[in-house]
Amino acid sequence: MRSAPRSASAPWSATGRWACACAVVGALVALPRAASGQEFDLDGSIWSRFETRDIDGGAAESFSLMQTRLDVTATFSPLVGFFAQAQDVRFWGEETRTAGATANEFDFHQAYLTLGNRETPLRARIGRQEYEIGFGRLLGIPIWSAIGRAYDGVTATASLSNDARVELFGFQIREEESPASTSDEYLAGAWAEFGLGDTRTLHLFGLHDRDNADPRTARTTLGTEYVATSGPVFYRIEAAVQSGQVAGSDLTAASLLAGFARVGFAEGRGTVGLGLERYGGDATPGPGETAGFSDLFGRNHRFLGFADLFNDPRANTNGRGLTNLDLRGTWDLRDGLILRVDLHRFAVVDDDGLGDGHLADEIDVQVFGPLYDQLDVRAGASWVGGGDGGRALGTITGDQRFGYIMLSVGTWWS
């Protein structure tokens, strides 16, 4: 018997699928007819990364990873095409023998149909695809992950003007009818981007994620992002709130406030920046409540350090919330080869019962960019010093050291 009642999932599922179907039909009807013409493009990328990590009081580990991708882009007419991306991910030595060929992590990372193009007022993608909104904090493409992240579903984009667009998306994370799942899980929403002149951009977004497992999750996230440049100063501001239920409990104290500013010097060759992020939380939520803001499917490395202490601030702090003070500097060594140094100080928002809310300090040093023509490098080291609050929560068991070196061909780092 299925663990999730179908009566709980059917209405939302039917509504979401009808909405996606209507969006696709609408895009097809709105697209003008065009002359046919076929084009095929082949592309690909490969990277290899060595990592080593050592934790006081824990085991040390070292390994090498490799990701290989082959891309096919086909255009059957100016309005119809598809994209397919095959991917192999493996540890060096995973095969256990030189004649092995298990290919455990080989599949189609992306495969989708395209309708329309950048010149049409409507365009859509149907199938498995990478997707990102805004800065990628809540829904992003994790460039560090060897496997990456892709979604099964539909995205539709409507151009409002040269400087504004709206995107709708609906993704099926899990399907109850598949052999691997016993419940349905969805992610859907919309976001809009508005260019406010040459140096300012505003994002508005709304997301709803739902898991019909028992107990179920039905959570809504609303927020905004603003980014601007004024002379040598760049800054961004973010705000978001979450409401609903998580694993059957009412969500409370779930908010996000974040800001970052940097200034360039030496004719733009160097920058120095300061950021502060606050993920809301509560150490003692009421009966039937659960606390904390989750960054869902975000790009954690972009915001919360390369040592991977905080993959989900809500879970990693037991709902107490997280603050991150980030001091950052960069220097262009030569032709886009960048030296970057980050200093992070992590603490909980609500330290009730801990005595000390200090979670950890982290230093990240890395060099990244083109090493030679068509060959990129990313190398770095991180040190993490644990605080009393971090040890009490189990977020960190001891000081950590993390190092890596990566070479890539055909990979664009952002």
For 288-321, the pLDDT digits (tens) are 999 999 999 988 888 999 998 898 999 999 999 9
Mean pLDDT of 198-220: 95
Identify the burial level of 118 via C-beta atoms within 10 angstroms of its C-beta, where 0-12 means exposed, 13-18 middle and 19 or more buried.
exposed
Torsion angles phi and psi, residue 296, rounded to 5: 55, -110
C-beta of residue 244 within 8 angstroms of C-beta of residue 211? no
pLDDT at 209: 96
Q: Which of 322, 351, 300, 355 is nearest to 255 (CA)?
A: 322
Query: 29-68: per-residue pLDDT in tens?
Result: 555 554 456 888 999 999 999 999 999 877 789 999 999 9
- pLDDT > 90: percent of the chain: 70
Average of per-residue pLDDT across 7-11: 41
Q: Kindly report the backbone phi and psi dihedral angles of residue 31, in degrees, each rounded to the nearest multiple of 5, phi listed first.
A: -70, 135
What does the pLDDT read at residue 16? 56
Q: Can you tell me the distance from the alpha carbon of 114 to that of 194, in angstroms, rounded to the nearest whole number?
A: 24
6-409: CATH topology is Porin (2.40.160)
Q: What is the DSSP letter of 391?
A: H
Rounded Cα gap, residues 390 and 380, in angstroms: 24
Average pLDDT over residues 99-106: 73
Q: What burial class does residue 286 get, using C-beta atoms within 10 Å of its C-beta: 0-12 exposed, 13-18 middle, 19+ buried? A: exposed
The full set of domain ranges for the chain reads: 6-409
pLDDT in tens, 223-266: 999 999 999 999 999 999 999 999 999 999 999 999 999 999 99
Q: Which residues contact 355 (CB under 8 A, 6 or more apart)?
A: 388, 389, 392
Task: For residue 37, give the DSSP letter.
Answer: -
Token reading at 48: 């290899």
pLDDT of 143 reads 84
Bigger pLDDT: 99 vs 157: 157
117 pLDDT higher than 90: no
Question: What element of type H or E holds 148?
Answer: none
Looking at residues 157-161, what average pLDDT do you find? 93
**DSSP per-residue string spanning 366-386:** EEEEEEETTEEEEEEEEEEEE
How far is the C-alpha of 265 from the C-alpha of 243, rounded, in Å?
A: 42
Closest CA to 293 of 340, 301, 285: 285
Please give the average per-residue pLDDT across 198-210, as a whole number: 96
pTM of the model: 0.86
